[in-house]
């Protein structure tokens, strides 16, 4: 009786997994993978930085450092350490973190994370405006200054919980027919299925930290450009050389240095766009454990799919030739 109960439980679990990955009849599930905890370490570090920014003004002295700071330095320090300076300086630092987070293009560069950082940046200044212009209004939900210390702890906890939830929202499957990438996050879900016959290459990416800790990305490339993205190399300064254009009637001695400087500016600010591998947690095996072992399994199934498709092509060609002979 107990054996029947265990058997039913296993069948139910298999059916649940088949429905989860939308497997077709005759397709078998081989392996299931999830991102490693360290794959999203950049997001956890950024969350700690967001919390640390809340404590900058807590440990900032009210007077300028030094024995004789001077009038200008004393006035500037007085503004920075004031409530208004805090309300203005905090959003600027948070906006810099949000920009830096997007610029380095780590795994934490997601829409929900960036939007949360912008909301955190706007809250203190909003509270300062309410306290300054609507102190006696019912809208003033804060009796005093913005609680940076409490907010820092709250946002660290909030971000940690949501980062873990975001990390667990990705699930990857290797089946006999395809690789399947599933994402369930904030009441939205997506399932992407890629047949082995559509593969053009399989790339393994491991950085120094990933090599030490044993995780990495396995990125399947297809003819449609899946797994690839465009990256711009260089700096654009707009019309930096516009003021260096030669004017009509200028002598050679005047226009030649301008032309040389403009040529160097063009070389320094020139840009070029290249296509490179861009791992996306929703479209590859992102930060999985033992990526080389995953690659071996995927390549083995890819090889089998190529052999099968080649045999089918030969079979169709022979059938067509036989029909012509008849």
Cα 303 from Cα 22, distance rounded (Å): 23
- What pLDDT was estimated at residue 4? 39
Least confident of 179-183, 198-202, 303-307: 303-307
Q: How many domains does the chain have?
A: 3
Tell me the CATH number at 191.
Answer: 2.30.29
Residues 176 and 201 in one domain: yes
Mean pLDDT, rounded, of the chain: 73
Residues 118 and 137 in one domain: yes
- What pLDDT was estimated at residue 238? 47
Residues 133 and 236 in one domain: no
- Residue 7 belongs to some domain of the structure: no
pLDDT mean over 260-289: 70
Query: Which residues have CB under 8 Å from 180's CB, separation 6+?
Result: 21, 22, 172, 173, 191, 192, 193, 194
Does residue 196 sit in helix, strand or coil?
helix
Of residues 70 and 38, more confidently modeled:
38
Cα 165 from Cα 112, distance rounded (Å): 12
Of residues 40 and 248, more confidently modeled:
40
Name the most confidently modeled range: 50-54, 87-91, 139-143, 236-240.
Answer: 50-54
- Residue 2 belongs to some domain of the structure: no
Residues 149 and 162 in one domain: yes
Residues 213 and 103 in one domain: no
Give the pLDDT band (50/70/90) at residue 10: very low
Has residue 39 got a pLDDT over 70?
yes
Residues 60 and 181 in one domain: no
Has residue 46 got a pLDDT over 70?
yes
Give the pLDDT band (50/70/90) at residue 240: very low
Give the pLDDT band (50/70/90) at residue 48: very high
Residues 202 and 299 in one domain: yes
Query: Which residues have CB under 8 Å from 109's CB, separation 6+?
Result: 101, 102
Give the pLDDT band (50/70/90) at residue 68: low
* Cβ atoms 35, 288 nearer than 8 A: yes
Has residue 124 got a pLDDT over 50?
yes
- Residue 199 belongs to some domain of the structure: yes
Has residue 154 got a pLDDT over 90?
yes
Residues 50 and 124 in one domain: yes
Residues 99 and 206 in one domain: no
pLDDT mean over 187-196: 86
* Phi, psi angles (nearest 5°) of residue 193: -120, 125
Residues 216 and 308 in one domain: yes
- What pLDDT was estimated at residue 320? 61
* Cβ atoms 131, 86 nearer than 8 A: no
Of residues 148 and 70, more confidently modeled:
148
- Residue 18 belongs to some domain of the structure: no
Boundary of a domain, candidates 167, 192, 210 = 167
- Give me the domain span that covers residue 179: 170-227+289-326
Does residue 178 sit in helix, strand or coil?
strand
Query: Which residues have CB under 8 Å from 50's CB, separation 6+?
Result: 94, 97, 117, 120, 155, 156, 159
Q: Minimal CA–CA distance to 177: which of 312, 310, 305?
A: 305
Residues 46 and 136 in one domain: yes
- Residue 154 belongs to some domain of the structure: yes
pLDDT mean over 194-204: 86
- What pLDDT was estimated at residue 6? 32
- Residue 75 belongs to some domain of the structure: yes
Has residue 272 got a pLDDT over 80?
no
Distances (CA, A) of 239 to 14, 196, 262, 265, 309: 62, 48, 11, 10, 54
Has residue 3 got a pLDDT over 90?
no
Residues 187 and 303 in one domain: yes
- What pLDDT was estimated at residue 7? 32
- Residue 19 belongs to some domain of the structure: no
- Residue 54 belongs to some domain of the structure: yes
Please report, rounded to a whole number, the percentage of residues in the chain having pLDDT higher than 90. 9
Of residues 5 and 115, more confidently modeled:
115
Within the chain, residue ranges assigned H as helices are 2-20, 41-53, 71-80, 83-104, 111-133, 148-168, 208-213, 252-269, 291-325
Of residues 192 and 262, more confidently modeled:
192
Structure tokens at 271: 């840009």
């Amino acid at each position: 009786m107990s054996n029947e109960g265990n058997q039913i439980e296993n069948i139910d679990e298999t059916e649940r997994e088949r429905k989860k990955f939308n497997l077709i009849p005759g397709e078998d599930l081989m392996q299931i993978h999830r991102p490693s905890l360290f794959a999203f370490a950049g997001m956890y570090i950024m969350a700690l930085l967001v919390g640390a920014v809340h404590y900058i003004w807590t440990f900032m002295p009210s007077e300028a450092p030094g024995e004789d700071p001077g009038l200008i330095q004393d006035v500037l320090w007085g503004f920075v350490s004031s409530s208004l300076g805090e309300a203005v300086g905090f959003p600027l630092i948070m906006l810099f973190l949000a920009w830096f987070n997007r610029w380095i293009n780590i795994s934490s560069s997601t829409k929900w994370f960036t939007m949360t950082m912008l909301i955190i940046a706007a809250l203190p200044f909003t509270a300062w405006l309410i306290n300054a212009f609507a102190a006696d209004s019912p809208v003033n939900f804060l009796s005093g200054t913005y609680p940076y210390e409490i907010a820092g702890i709250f946002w660290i906890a909030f971000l940690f919980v949501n980062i873990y939830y975001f990390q667990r929202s990705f699930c990857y499957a290797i089946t006999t027919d395809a690789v399947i990438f599933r994402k369930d996050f904030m009441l939205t879900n997506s399932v992407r299925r890629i047949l082995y016959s559509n593969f053009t290459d399989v790339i393994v990416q491991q950085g120094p930290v990933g090599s030490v800790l044993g995780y990495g990305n396995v990125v399947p490339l297809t003819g449609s450009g899946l797994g690839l993205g465009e990256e711009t190399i260089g700096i654009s300064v707009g019309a930096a050389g516009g003021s260096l254009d030669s004017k009509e009637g200028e002598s050679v001695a005047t226009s030649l240095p301008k032309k040389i400087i403009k040529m160097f500016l063009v070389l320094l600010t020139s840009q070029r766009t290249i296509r490179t591998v861009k791992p996306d947690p929703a479209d590859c095996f992102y930060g999985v454990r033992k990526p080389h072992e995953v690659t071996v399994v995927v390549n083995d199934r890819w090889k089998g799919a190529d052999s099968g498709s080649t045999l089918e092509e030969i079979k169709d060609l022979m059938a067509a030739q036989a029909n012509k002979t008849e």
